[in-house]
């Protein structure tokens, strides 16, 4: 006796059962069959995206959620899941998704909190404060929302509001090193270095390898007129995380204040390269097999257009006695190579 074909809801149920048994691939096959039979099943779209995320197929999950919101533009759940998936990678678009949820269902769970976090990450601090103030009114027991509210207020230089928010968060989770570091930073902005250092010492006792805490310590020690210790703190932060542009900027400003201009300029350039505000270019000689010539010079330039960098490089080679023709060929065998360095290749 032949079995009756399963409908979309039955396939969706099977997908859920397979997911509960951690059989992700089987669940994904079942949910795709459900969507083939009925592409208007919002729950199926959300489950498919969740399964793809479990498989670390991030782009496929995002494409699935984009297709879901296109297929079901009136479903707030699909917009919410799309926003949640985008909040780290593309917070501006995530904020648009959460705003769409609010339009469709103002009482949708947690949408205001998530909107506030996305706005904060997108640099829209004023809007973030408004959303997060509403969120903490609704769920005052959530420490991370008070923390985000404090971060948004601090970005707007509302230091006392930020301090109050961090205090509310710490009352809920007193041993959170992120909160302690943020509270120390707020005290720093209020020119209260001694209580800030006390707070930061607690944070460092909990997380001594956290680079950001050492950077904050550098700012506090600078404010406390302890310049040598401040420089040591900035160096310790960069030892732990050499690719943080903000710490390079802080160190540059500190060195500039101490009259160490050349070192400050190098640090500032490093900060700009890491933040993407300057492009870094590498130069050397390549042989006929496009392999770097051993012993050829490798430079890093940032503040000239590539054509000017190449011209100057070739002029330097000619000045050193090398034969350089109009096509850029060096000594009849080598050509000067110029390429943009990725952040991973930047010198530290």
Tell me the per-residue pLDDT of 96-121, one tens digit each, with 9 for 90 and over.
999 999 999 999 999 999 999 999 99
Which ranges of the chain have pLDDT less than 50? 1-2
**Is 308 a domain residue?**
yes
Q: Flag whether 287 is in a domain.
A: yes
Instruction: Give this prediction's pTM.
Output: 0.77
Establish if 331 belongs to a structural domain. Answer: yes
Parent domain of 321: 279-341
Residues 145 and 136 sit within 8 Å (Cβ to Cβ): yes
Q: Does any domain span residue 332?
A: yes
- The pLDDT value given to residue 1: 39
Whether 183 is in a domain gets the answer no
Residue 108, sorted as left (phi over 0), alpha (psi -120 to 50) or beta, turns out to be beta
Tens of pLDDT, residue by residue over 2-59, are 455 788 889 889 888 888 888 999 989 999 999 999 999 999 999 999 999 888 899 9
Tokens representing residue 209 in the block? 């390898």
Q: Is residue 316 part of a domain?
A: yes
Cβ-Cβ contacts under 8 Å for 330 (sequence gap 6 or more): 285, 314, 317, 322, 323, 324, 336
Q: Which residues contact 291 (CB under 8 A, 6 or more apart)?
A: none
Rounded CA separation 68/58 (Å): 15
The whole-angstrom distance between residue 26's C-alpha and the CA centroid of its chain comes to 33
Could you tell me the CA-to-CA distances from 167 to 92, 164, 264 in Å, in that order?
A: 28, 5, 35
Strands 334-340 and 299-301, sheet pairing: unpaired
Q: Taken in order 318, 321, 326, 328, is the CA torsion positive or negative?
A: negative
265 lies in a domain? no
Q: How many CB atoms lie within 10 A of CB 213?
A: 26
Q: Any alpha helices (H) in 4-123, and if so which ranges?
A: 8-20, 24-37, 42-54, 58-71, 76-86, 91-104, 111-121
Domain total of the chain: 1
pLDDT at 297: 58
Evaluate whether residue 298 is within a structural domain. yes
């Amino acid at each position: 006796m032949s079995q009756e074909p399963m409908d979309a809801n039955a396939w969706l149920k099977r997908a859920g059962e397979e997911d509960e048994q951690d059989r992700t691939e089987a669940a994904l096959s079942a949910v795709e069959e459900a969507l083939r039979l009925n592409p208007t099943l919002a729950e199926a779209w959300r489950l498919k995206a969740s399964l793809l995320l479990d498989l670390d197929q991030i782009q496929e999950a995002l494409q699935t959620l984009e297709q879901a919101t296109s297929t079901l533009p009136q479903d707030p759940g699909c917009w919410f899941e799309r926003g949640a998936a985008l909040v780290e990678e593309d917070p501006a678009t995530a904020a648009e998704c959460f705003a769409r949820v609010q339009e469709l269902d103002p009482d949708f769970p947690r949408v205001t909190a998530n909107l506030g976090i996305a706005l904060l990450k997108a640099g829209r601090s004023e809007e973030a404060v408004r959303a997060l103030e509403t969120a903490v009114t609704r769920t005052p027991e959530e420490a991370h929302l008070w923390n985000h509210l404090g971060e948004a207020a601090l970005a707007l230089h509302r230091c006392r509001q930020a301090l109050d928010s961090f205090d509310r968060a710490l009352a809920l989770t007193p041993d959170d090193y992120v909160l302690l570091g943020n509270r120390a930073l707020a005290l720093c902005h209020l020119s209260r270095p001694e209580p800030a250092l006390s707070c930061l010492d607690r944070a460092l006792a909990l997380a001594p390898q956290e680079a950001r805490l050492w950077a904050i310590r550098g700012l506090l020690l600078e404010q406390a007129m302890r310049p040598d210790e401040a420089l040591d703190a900035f160096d310790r932060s960069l030892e732990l995380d050499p690719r943080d542009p903000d710490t390079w900027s802080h160190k540059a400003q500190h060195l500039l204040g101490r009259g160490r201009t050349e070192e400050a300029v190098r640090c500032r350039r490093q900060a700009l390269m890491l933040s993407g505000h300057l492009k870094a270019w590498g130069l050397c000689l390549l042989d006929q097999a496009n392999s770097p010539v051993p012993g050829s010079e490798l430079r890093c330039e940032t503040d000239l257009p590539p054509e000017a960098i190449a011209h100057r490089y070739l002029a330097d080679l000619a000045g050193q006695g090398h034969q350089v023709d109009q096509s850029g060929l060096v000594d009849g065998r080598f050509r000067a190579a110029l390429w943009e360095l990725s952040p991973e290749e930047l010198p530290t």
